[in-house]
A = this chain, B = another copy of it.
Amino acid sequence: MSFPPLNPADESFAARLPAGVLRPVEPRYLEERRGLFRGQAGLLAAPRDVEEVAAILRAANEARVGVVPYGGGTGLVGGQVSPDGPAPLVLSLERMTAIRGVYPAENVIVAEAGAVLADVQAAAEAAERLFPLSLGAEGSCRIGGNLSTNAGGVNVLRYGNTRELTLGLEAVLPDGSVWHGLKRLRKDNTGYDLRGLMIGAEGTLGVITAASLRLFPRPARTGAALVVVESPAAALDLLALAGARIGPGVSAFELISGQGMRFLAETGCAARAPLDPIPDWAVLIDLGLGPVDDPQAALAALYEEAEAAGLVSGGVIAQSEAQRAGLWAMREQIPEANKRIGAISSHDISLPLSAIPDFIPAARSAVTRLGAFRINAFGHLGDGNLHFNVFPPEGRARDAYGPELRERVATAIYDVVAGFGGSFSAEHGVGRLKVDDLERYGDPARLAAMRAIKAALDPNGIMNPGAVLRRADS
């Protein structure tokens, strides 16, 4: 897995690529949102179809040129930028954006990897169906990136992660062979789950070029409530009660911290939580029900029962779709508020649900031992997925804190996560940011199996070198 001196700028390599796909890589492809990595200048290839992707990988594999697949560039762990090693070829799927087919009777859509997530959602809606993957970056992330990172988002509780939403794939393997696997089948037990393996591999095992994805009936009636809970433990009891009373109609269950709501005000974000005073904890519950159900009544009944059980104390039930959208806007602006405050470090973690009430104070203590910080713990509680982000105290800026402290904070948090049987990356992936963490916290037998699979499918190590697994030569 070593790189000979050839690189994408090498003319003999460029000459073997399909005409019209190469161009110099513009700076925006080399940046990532948090500024943790910066990619190297070089060349970008933007193929128009799967055959061109195949030709590019074949040439790259022969020339031992690294290839970094690029979707919408919204990843948060540096999977899309290669800061070191020989300069790779950036492979952007931006010209493969077609919706190849919508099959409402089957609840299936087939989309090319470059399609923007919001466009896939819109194509489903035009057919009176729901594609439930939904996350903050949906206006710019591409479905190929969602697939490669097994994206989560706000509707996992009800509909699953991207892997569970995918029926089939078309993908190019590192040797340039094309797997034509765009089946539209709910059941297909004919050998190893290559679909599941490519999803979440972050471009290290090949390039996904298209996918057949599950659609759902659109819930006929929707509703939302923002309710005050005393603690994360009470929020979990409320989740269980909602499951028992409303069942699969609960489409999202988001924990929101007082710190997060205060950040919205502090940073001048337009959205605010309609709660006064700001409580320590709140939960945003979203429902999607059938045509004969009344979401407001269901939420009111849930609230009443939860109040009698001492789980909730106040809050609002959206009385209109506009009010529901307002609650979601508040939830979705919290990452923007976080960004304006400036986190010292951000952690996308998951835990067994019942561990969360003990985890939060334990992690807070571990961080507090390193200094006085503000913590915003929020996220997809229904999935056991918290975003546990650490900020300077009021009046100090993140620039005052160096990378060593960031490292110590991360290790302190991940050690607590590991102690509770959790994961140091719930939905963002490993990328380049968490390669060390995977080595530290990953199961050794599983890591060995991952390395064996990588070596078997990509013996020359051309695919997204240095992401997920350390490069053999580094």
Given contacts A196-B196, A445-B173, contact A190 B434 (CB under 8 A): yes
Interface size class of A (residues with CB under 8 A): 35 or more
Chain B proximity of A450: nearest CB distance (Å):
5
A450 to B173, CA, bound (A): 12
Given contacts A196-B196, A197-B197, contact A191 B430 (CB under 8 A): yes
Given contacts A179-B445, A197-B196, contact A246 B184 (CB under 8 A): no
| B contact residues around A385 at 8 Å (CB) | 186-187
Per-residue CB proximity of A183-196 to B under 8 Å, as 1/0? Answer: 11111111111111
Does A122 count as interface, using CB distance less than 8 angstroms? no
User: Which residues 141-159 of A have a CB within 8 angstroms of B?
Assistant: 149-150, 152, 156-157
Does A103 count as interface, using CB distance less than 8 angstroms? yes
B187 touching A350, Cβ below 8 Å:
yes
B450 touching A194, Cβ below 8 Å:
yes
A186 to B438, CA, bound (A): 18
Does A244 count as interface, using CB distance less than 8 angstroms? yes
B354 touching A188, Cβ below 8 Å:
no
A428 to B105, CA, bound (A): 25
A431 to B188, CA, bound (A): 14
A190 touching B425, Cβ below 8 Å:
yes
Which of A107, A429, A453 has most chain B Cβ within 10 Å?
A: A453
| B contact residues around A445 at 8 Å (CB) | 173, 177-180
Does A455 count as interface, using CB distance less than 8 angstroms? yes
| B contact residues around A185 at 8 Å (CB) | 350-352, 384, 421-423, 426
Does A448 count as interface, using CB distance less than 8 angstroms? yes
Chain B proximity of A423: nearest CB distance (Å):
4
| B contact residues around A438 at 8 Å (CB) | 190-191
Does A391 count as interface, using CB distance less than 8 angstroms? no
A181 touching B443, Cβ below 8 Å:
yes
| B contact residues around A219 at 8 Å (CB) | 247
B188 touching A449, Cβ below 8 Å:
no
13 A–B contact pairs at CB < 8 A?
Answer: A105-B354, A161-B187, A173-B449, A179-B443, A180-B445, A185-B351, A185-B384, A191-B442, A193-B197, A197-B453, A245-B290, A245-B291, A452-B457
Question: Can you list the 6 inter-chain pairs with the closest CB atoms, starting with the nearest?
Answer: A196-B196, A456-B456, A177-B445, A187-B426, A452-B456, A188-B423
